[in-house]
Structure 1
Amino acid sequence: MIADLGLVVGLVLLIVLALRGVNILLAVLVSVLVIGVANNIPIQDIFLKHFPFGPSGAFSFAGNFLLLFLCGGLFGRIMATSHAAQGVAVGIIERLGQKRALLIAMLVCALLTYGGVVVFVVMFTMYPIGVTLMRTANIPRRLYAAAIALGAGTFTMTALPGTPSIHNVIAARSLSTDLFAGGWYGVFAGAVMAVLGMWYLQWQWQRARQRGENYVANEKDHQMAALAPRPDQSMPSLWMSLLPIFVVLGTIVLPRVLEMSGVQSVWQDFANQQPVLWASFALIVGSLLCFILFRPVRKQFVTAAGKGVDDALLPLINTAAVIGFGGVVIQTEGFHAFAAWLLALEIPTLMSVFVSANLISGVTASASGGLQIFMSSLAPAYLESGIAPELLHRIANLAAGGLDSLPHSGAVIALLTLMGLTHKEAYRDIFVVTVLIPMIAALLAVITALILV
């Protein structure tokens, strides 16, 4: 009884501390102490074994994925320093017009994140440009924040095949699949997320106009507007700006193309067996192409690279901390009872995957953290039940991208803080496009798979 109560108290404590803005690493350390003590786990095992070095340990995860985070941070920062990221945004604005501001925000964020640019870099790229878009189109700031969340944190993160996102790589590494596993289910679910999400935002924008709700600037807007590209500032063309992203994706897809064409190459086996290294290599190739193409980044490449490393470290530490939290949780009897209950549910196995991955991601408020814990603790049992690794890869990815965006999510808090918004002002719309609609899309993918398999 005390053990189960301690587990619940520890989970609630983590959520409450995160919502109050406490550093996630501190919140995790306090929470795992409560859970460990309540479950009679020796303190030395909590902090020197299960949390840092267990199968779901913080340092175990950080060591395995450090290179990918660093290369992602490097590519994102170099895209920003070279003005290529801004070039994508400006180019799409010129073609679609500022009145389509919500669609522009979603498309630009989706293109950048699908190509491997770190989510936080995308937020900082789109917000300064977005001030002008919001002002011109008279869009409430809460809806623009939701459009950024839709483009940067949903279908390109978990659904679309081939992306070098950490979620895609975690599943590939754990299941010995490639980054395109379950691709058609991902494309289907991604289309559902994009279409339903944009429909919802446009509908809310129409309702806002009818209510007389307008764009209202705040101090954050004035600060960030100064960082937006000036009208006289030279920007790379849209296609030139997109070229590094295409090269990253092309490098990732090359082994699959060679395999489909019947060509045998040692690179194919390497790419399939080492998804972390291959995705990292693709991001490095994209960074080097930026160095070659764009003069601004050549002048400050070393500085930009250093900032890229800084961009990578905080997300890596935060994600690792959440996974270390899971490393302690899975040592408890309560978790094993919970896992046994999930596996014994009288529902189709794929539906059980949907439920379990969602719940774990919801508790940790992290799709990557929840997915890593799911893969290390529950995935083997699902594989033994007969689910194909490629299908488990994609369905688990989709499910992990549902409840991960609850109010205590680090990405949600970062976006709201960046734009000077509160949960009360903006979270409802973010919830719809990053929780409700992704769960609907994942559920539809599960139903489709149950019909076809």
Structure 2
Amino acid sequence: MSVILIFLALALLIAGAWRGISVLVLAPVLATLAAFASGAPVLAGYTQIFMQAAGTFVIAFFPLFLLGALFGKVMEASGAAARLASAIALALGAKNAILAVVLACALLTYGGVSLFVVAFAAWPLAHALFVQTGLPQRLIPATIALGAFTFTMTALPGTPSIQNAIPMATFGTTAFAAPGLGLIAGAVMLVLGLVWLQWRVRKLTGHHVAAATNTPTTSGALPLWRAATPILSVGVVTLIMGSVVLPLLDTGYLADPAYGATDLSRLRGLWSVITALAVALILALILSRPPRVMQSLNDGAESALLPLFNTASLVGFGAVIAALPGFDVFRQSLDGLAGGNALISAALSSAALAGITGSASGGMSIALDVLGPSIMAQASLQGVDPALLHRVIAVATGGLDTLPHNGAVVTLLGICGMTHRQAYGDIFVVAVVVPTIACALIIALGMAFGSF
């Protein structure tokens, strides 16, 4: 019965999100109801589990959400994001409209721009290209999702995404963990996603907007080098900070309880990404010179809050679910499916929590907070490289997280003016099914050849 309650709460969360109810309201209500139905103390579950988990997430990752949103808003307000997207579209040509949109989204997200900002920035370009080339407009959300929600979010080494940052503290890894496997997973997601979208174009021929628009132009736009430099700096600064600068610093003071009684290995990755995003923001302000700088920064700061607290609310929901008696039964069944393999067990548990919360970062945070010590102990006994765990868990959570109640999905559909019924099916394939296939592949490769 307790396991049924978990799936019932998940079903209600999905149904509520499908109907447009905010997860800020939905998640605590359903978590409270699930605790009550399970016989757990309701008020203690809310204040001591839900709010503690949500608050811990905000404390840990507020800088990444804030810097990413500020950077994204500056890139958007200055025209740099549109300049990069248009340049890619012009270089590839109108006949490759889907690929152009995917690569434009990928470049922006890999460069540190929040996927929420990317969705807003990519929609006008995608709409113009799809109309011009007669492509089915209902595929625009899935095209943007493929570029922004998949391989650049969890697979590509060095990505400054929150999903790639969370495992670093637990495993003592960097943003470049298991780069070979990350590249393979990323390539699989990109290729299979494009194959699906092109097949759908052939199936949906005739289902497109009849109007016509002009080809994107770059006349009078920001010089390309000035638009691209802040984006390119993110990966470079992340690598230099993690590999060169931070190891040279005296960080013995971190052992002091005042600083968390920790060490550099647990903070190196996070500090590297924070520094890289800060440098990129400064470069964007200098090179792209957005109008009304203070207004852009204020808007960016405000835009960071909703994604942050949506995710935190889902983390709280997942933490309450993870504390219910039924979750232990559910987790043991997953361990049984894994056959005692630490890598498979970690992937299944984290993916399940990502699905329950509708958030890769939320599910990952709960999995590593609740199950992290046991995962590390089991992996150590089996000789599993922490870098391999990092990459597999990141890719695993980037699959089931994109269920209908995912905040980014709801936002994307709203931007595109479409309903779940119209466009979610293709999002499900490119952002759930394909990443799951990629995860299974790198698990098999990791078990056969180790981390590379």
Residue 258 of structure 2: aligned partner: none
Structure 1 residues not aligned, in runs of 5+: none
Could you tell me the percent identity over the aligned residues?
39
**Quick one: which amino acid aligns to residue 207 of structure 1?**
K
Matches of 2:48 and 2:68 in 1, distance apart? 29
Aligned counterpart, 2:276: 282
Which stretch of structure 1 is more off in the superposition, 77-86 or 238-247? 238-247
Kindly state the Cα deviation for residue 231 of structure 1 after the two structures are TM-superposed.
Answer: 5.1
Matches within 5 A, 1:377-392: 377-386=370-379, 387-392=384-389
- For 2:61, the equivalent position in structure 1 comes to 65
Is the Cα–Cα contact under 8 Å of residues 7 and 38 in structure 1 kept in the other structure?
Answer: no
**Displacement of 1:354:** 2.7
Aligned length: 434
Q: Does 1:187 align with 2:183?
A: yes
Residue from 249, 263, 279 that aligns with 1:266: 249
Answer whether contact 2:239 2:272 (CA < 8 A) is retained: no
Please state how far the C-alpha of 1:232 moved relative to its aligned partner: 8.0
Distance 2:338 2:26 in 1: 36
Distance 1:216 1:364, change over 3 A: farther
C-alpha offsets along residues 236-293 of structure 1, whole Å, 9 cap, x if unaligned? Answer: 233331110111111101145539xxx9622998586243333122111111111111
Paired position in structure 2 for 1:242: 228
Summarize the alignment of residues 52-451 of structure 1 with structure 2, pairs less than 5 Å apart: 52-53=51-52, 57-209=53-205, 212-216=206-210, 234-256=220-242, 258=244, 265-266=248-249, 273-295=267-289, 297=290, 299-345=291-337, 347=339, 348-386=341-379, 387-451=384-448
SS in 1 for 2:107: helix
Q: Once the 2 structures are TM-superposed, how far is the Cα of residue 416 of structure 1 from its aligned partner? A: 1.3
CA contact (8 A) 2:169 2:270 kept: yes
Equivalent pair of 1:362/1:403 in contact (CA under 8 Å): yes
Cα distance, 1:216–1:176 mapped onto 2, change above 3 Å: farther
Deviation at 1:201, TM superposition (A): 1.4
Structure 1 counterpart of 2:10: 11
**Structure 1 segments of 4+ aligned residues over 6 angstroms from their partners:** none
Cα shift readout 1:91-124 (whole Å, capped 9, x = no counterpart): 1122111221100100000000011101111111
Q: Deviations over 1:39-68 (max 9, x none)?
A: 332233122211111xxx101111111111
Alignment CA distance shift 1:301-1:267 (3 Å):
farther
Task: Say if 1:106 and 1:151, in contact at 8 Å, map to a contact too.
Answer: yes
Distance 1:193 1:322 in 2: 26
Q: Which amino acid is 1:243 matched to?
A: T
Equivalent position SS for 1:234: coil
Q: Distance in 2 between matches of 1:250 and 1:402?
A: 28
Structure 1 counterpart of 2:171, which letter? Answer: L
Task: Point out where structure 2 has 5 or more consecutive residues left out of the alignment.
Answer: 252-262
Higher mean alpha-carbon deviation, 274-283 vs 107-116, is at 274-283
The one-letter code sitting in structure 1 at the alignment partner of 2:138 is R
